[in-house]
Amino acid sequence: MDQGFNRRQFLLSTAGVAAGLALPASPLFAQSNRKIRIGLMLPYTGTYASLGNAITNGFKLAVEESGGKLGGMDIEYFTVDDESDPAKAPENANKLVKRDKVDVLIGTVHSGVALAMARVARETNTLLIVPNAGADEITGPLCAPNIFRTSFSSWQPSYAMGNVMAERKHKTVVTLSWKYAFGEQSVAGFKEAFEKAGGKVVKEMYLPFPNVEFQPYLTEIAALKPDAVFVFFSGGGAVKFVKDYATAGLRTSIPLYGPGFLTDGTLEAQGEAAEGLLTTLHYADNLDFPKSKSFKAAYFKAFKVQPDVFAVQGYDAAQLFGAGLAGVKGDVGKRAELIKAMESATIDSPRGAFTLSKAHNPVQDIYLRKVEGKENKLVSVAAKALADPARGCRM
Partner 1 sequence: MDFSTFLIQLLNALQYGLLLFLVASGLTLVFGIMGIINLAHGSFYMMGAYMAFSLTSLTGNLLIAVVLGVALSALIGFLLEWGLFSRLYKRDHLDQVLLTYGLILMFEETRSLIVGDDVHGVPIPELLSASIQLSETLSYPVYRLFMSAVCIALAIGMYWLIRRTRLGMMIRAGSSNREMVQALGINIDLIYRLVFALGVTLAAFAGMLAAPVSSVYPGMGNQVLIICFVVVVIGGVGSVWGALVAALLIGLADTFGKVIIPDYAGLTVYILMAAVLLWRPEGIFRRI
CA 65, 51, 184, 278 dihedral sign is positive
Minimum distance from residue 182 beta carbon to partner 1 (Å):
17
**Per CB under 8 A, does 268 bind partner 1?**
yes
Helix, strand, coil percent content, the chain, rounded in steps of 5? 45, 20, 35
Q: How many residues of this chain interact with partner 1, rule: CB under 8 A?
A: 41
Q: How far is the CB of 251 from partner 1 (least distance, A)?
A: 10
**Closer of 32 and 215 to partner 1 (Cβ):** 215
Task: Looking at residues 232 to 251 of the shown chain, list those that interact with partner 1 (rule: CB under 8 A).
Answer: 235-236, 239-240, 243-244, 247-250
* Stretch of 146-154, 190-198, 217-225, 338-346 contacting partner 1, by CB under 8 A: 217-225
Residue 297 φ/ψ, nearest 5 degrees: -65, -45
Considering only residues 27 through 56, tell me which ones interact with partner 1, judged by CB under 8 A: 45-47, 49-50
Residue 216 found at the interface with partner 1 (CB under 8 A):
yes
Our CB check for partner 1 shows the closer of 308 and 388 to be 308
Minimum distance of partner 1 from residue 369's CB (angstroms): 19
Q: For the CB of residue 9, give the shortest distance to partner 1 in the complex, in Å.
A: 24
Residue 279 found at the interface with partner 1 (CB under 8 A): no
Partnered with residue 151 across adjacent β-strands are: none
User: CB within 8 A of 376, min separation 6: which ones?
Assistant: 260, 263, 264, 267, 279, 281, 284, 285, 369, 370
Contacting residue, 16, 68, 72, 210, with partner 1 by CB under 8 A: 210
Is 179 one of the binding residues for partner 1 (CB under 8 A)?
A: yes
Select from 262, 270, 275 the least CA-distant residue to 234. Answer: 262
Could you say whether residue 254 binds partner 1 (CB under 8 A)?
yes
What is d(CA 210, CA 240) in angstroms, rounded to the nearest whole number? 12
Strand 362-372 relative to strand 278-281: parallel, antiparallel, unpaired?
antiparallel
- Nearer to partner 1 by Cβ, of 88 and 119: the residue is 88
Smaller CB separation from partner 1, 209 or 289: 209
Nearer to partner 1, 116 or 254 (CB): 254
9 vs 219, beta carbon nearer partner 1: 219
User: 150 with 181: CB under 8 angstroms?
Assistant: no
- Select from 349, 381, 345, 348 the least CA-distant residue to 365: 381
Cα angle 209-214-216, degrees, rounded to a multiple of 5? 120
Q: How far apart are CA 173 and CA 194, in angstroms?
A: 9
Please say which residue, 269 or 381, places its beta carbon nearer to partner 1: 269
The C-alpha atoms of residue 252 and residue 263 are separated, in whole angstroms, by 18
Please choose, from the candidates 367, 359, 366, 368, the residue with its C-alpha nearest in 3D space to the C-alpha of residue 386: 366
Which of 101, 168, 196, 225 is in the footprint of partner 1 by CB under 8 A? 225
Closer of 14 and 253 to partner 1 (Cβ): 253
Q: Toward partner 1, which CB reaches closer, 18 or 87? A: 87
Helix or strand (DSSP H, E) at 236: helix 235-247
| Candidate list 6, 26, 211, 306; residue touching partner 1; CB under 8 A | 211
3-state secondary structure of 200: strand
By CB under 8 A, residue 86 contacts partner 1: no
Q: Point out which residues bind partner 1 (CB under 8 A).
A: 45-47, 49-50, 179, 205-208, 210-213, 215-220, 222-223, 225, 235-236, 239-240, 243-244, 247-250, 253-254, 265-266, 268-271
